[in-house]
A and B are shown apart, each in its own frame.
Chain A
Amino acid sequence: MLRRNLMLAAAFGAALFSGAAYAADPVSIVYIPKNTGNPYFDSIIKGFEDGCKKLGCEFTTVAPASAEATSQIPFVTAQIQRGVNVVAISPNSPDALNQVFDRARAKGTLILSVNSDLPGNETHRDAAILPVDFTKTGPSQVELLGKQIGYEGEIAILSATTDAPDQNVWIAAMKDSLEKDPKYAKMKLVTIAYGDDDPQKSTTETEALLANYPNLKGIISPTTVGVAAAAQVVETAKKADQVKVVGLGTPNQMRRFIENGTVEAFQLWSPYNQGLLAAHFAVGVKDGSIKNEAGTVFEVEGLGKVTVDENSVIKTQADLTTFDKANIADFNF
Chain B
Amino acid sequence: MNSIDKSPVASTTPRIVVREAAAPRPRWQVLLIRPETVTLLLLVLATIVASHLSPFFADLGFILESSTYYIEFAIVALVLTLVIISGEIDLSPAAQMALSACLFGTAFKAGLPMPVAMGVSLLAGLVMGAFNGFLVTVLRLPSIIVTIGTLILYRGLAQVLAGDKSIGGFPGWFVGIDYRMVGIVPVPVLVFVAASLLLGLFLGITIYGRQIYQIGTSEIAAIHAGIRVRRIKMGLFIASGITSSIAGLMVASRLGSVRYDLASGAELTMVLIVMLGGTYIFGGRGSILGTFLAAWLLVIIATGMTVANIAINAQLTVMGLLLIVSIIATNAIYARSQR
Selected from A12, A60, A68, A99, the residue in CB contact (under 8 A) with B256 is: A99
A319 within 8 A of B: no
Stretch at the interface among A70-78, A218-226, A295-303: A70-78
B62 within 8 A of A: yes
Query: Which residues does chain B contribute within 8 Å of A73, judged by CB atoms?
Result: 69
> Would you call A95 an interface residue if the criterion is a C-beta within 8 Å of the partner chain's C-beta atoms?
yes
A72 to chain B, nearest CB (A): 11
Contact B313 A36 (CB under 8 A): yes
Judge whether A9 is part of the interface by a CB distance below 8 angstroms: yes
A window 72-103: CB within 8 A of B: 73-75, 77-78, 81-83, 93-96, 98-99
CB-based contact A81/B259 at 8 Å: no
Q: Check B66–A99 contact: CB distance below 8 A.
A: no
Q: How far is the CB of B312 from chain A (nearest CB, A)?
A: 5
Are the C-beta atoms of B303 and A78 separated by less than 8 Å? Answer: yes
B20 at the interface (CB under 8 A from A): no
Q: Report which of B257, B265, B311 forms a contact with A96, defined as CB distance below 8 A.
A: B257
**Is the beta-carbon distance between A78 and B255 smaller than 8 angstroms?**
no
Given contacts A36-B311, A62-B309, A74-B306, contact A99 B254 (CB under 8 A): yes
Whether B62 pairs with A81 at a CB distance below 8 angstroms is yes
Q: How far is the CA of A82 from the CA of B307 in the complex (A)?
A: 7
Task: Tell me, yes or no, whether A185 is within 8 Å of chain B by CB.
Answer: no
| Shortest beta-carbon distance from B215 to chain A in Å | 35
Residue A318 is within 8 A (CB to CB) of chain B in the complex: no
A311 on the B face (CB < 8 A): no
The chain A residue sitting closest to B55, CB to CB, is A9
With A69-B262, A98-B256, A99-B179 known as contacts, the answer to whether A36 contacts B166 (CB < 8 A) is no
**Partner pick for A78 among B164, B168, B307, CB 8 A cutoff:** B307
Give the residue of A9, A93, A163 whose beta carbon is less than 8 angstroms from that of B166.
A93
A153 interfacial contact with B, CB 8 Å: no
Whether A95 and B54, one on each chain, are in contact in the complex, defined by CB atoms closer than 8 angstroms, is: no
Q: Cβ of B166 and Cβ of A95 under 8 Å apart?
A: yes
A5 within 8 A of B: yes
Q: How many A-B residue pairs have CB under 8 A?
A: 85
Known A81-B56, A81-B59, A96-B166; judge A66-B259 contact (CB<8 A). Answer: no
* Contact for B303 among A68, A74, A82, CB less than 8 A: A74
CA distance A60 to B176 in the complex (A): 29
Q: Judge whether B256 and A62 touch: CB under 8 Å.
A: no
A81 contacts B313, C-beta separation under 8 Å: no
B-contact 0/1 string along A40-81, CB 8 Å cutoff: 000000000000000000001011111011100111011001
Quick one: closest A residue to B312, CB to CB? A65
Q: Closest CB of chain A to B111's CB: distance in Å?
A: 20
- Min C-beta distance of B226 to chain A, whole Å: 46
Shortest beta-carbon distance, A68 to chain B, in Å? 5
Contacts A74-B69, A163-B164; is A63 near B265 (CB within 8 Å)? no
The answer to whether A165 has its CB under 8 Å from any CB of chain B is yes
Bound-state CA distance A95–B252 (Å) is 11
Which residues of B in the span 310-339 have a Cβ within 8 Å of any Cβ on A? 311-313, 316
What's the nearest-Cβ distance from chain A to residue B306, in Å?
A: 4
Which residues from A are CB-within-8-Å of B302?
A: 74
Chain B residues with CB under 8 A of A64: 312
A98 CA / B175 CA spacing, docked (Å) = 11
B residues 37-80 with Cβ under 8 Å of A? 54-56, 59, 62, 65-66, 69
Q: Which residues does chain A contribute within 8 Å of B66, judged by CB atoms? A: 74, 77-78
Task: A136 to B36: give the CA distance in the assembly, Å.
Answer: 61
C-alpha gap A165/B165 in the complex (Å) = 10
Would you give the shortest CB distance from B78 to chain A, in whole angstroms? 21
CB interface residues, B 228-285, toward A, < 8 Å: 251, 254-257, 259, 261-265
B69 cross-chain contacts in A, Cβ below 8 A? 70, 73-74, 77
With A81-B56, A81-B59, A98-B256 already in contact, 7 other A-B pairs whose C-beta atoms are closer than 8 Å = A62-B309, A66-B264, A68-B265, A69-B255, A73-B69, A78-B56, A93-B166
- What are 25 A-B interface contacts by the 8 Å CB criterion? A5-B54, A12-B56, A36-B312, A36-B313, A62-B311, A65-B313, A70-B255, A70-B262, A70-B263, A73-B69, A74-B302, A74-B303, A74-B306, A77-B66, A78-B66, A78-B306, A78-B307, A81-B62, A83-B56, A95-B256, A95-B257, A96-B166, A96-B257, A98-B256, A98-B257
> Which A residues lie at the B interface, using CB under 8 A?
5, 9, 12, 36, 60, 62-66, 68-70, 73-75, 77-78, 81-83, 93-96, 98-99, 163, 165
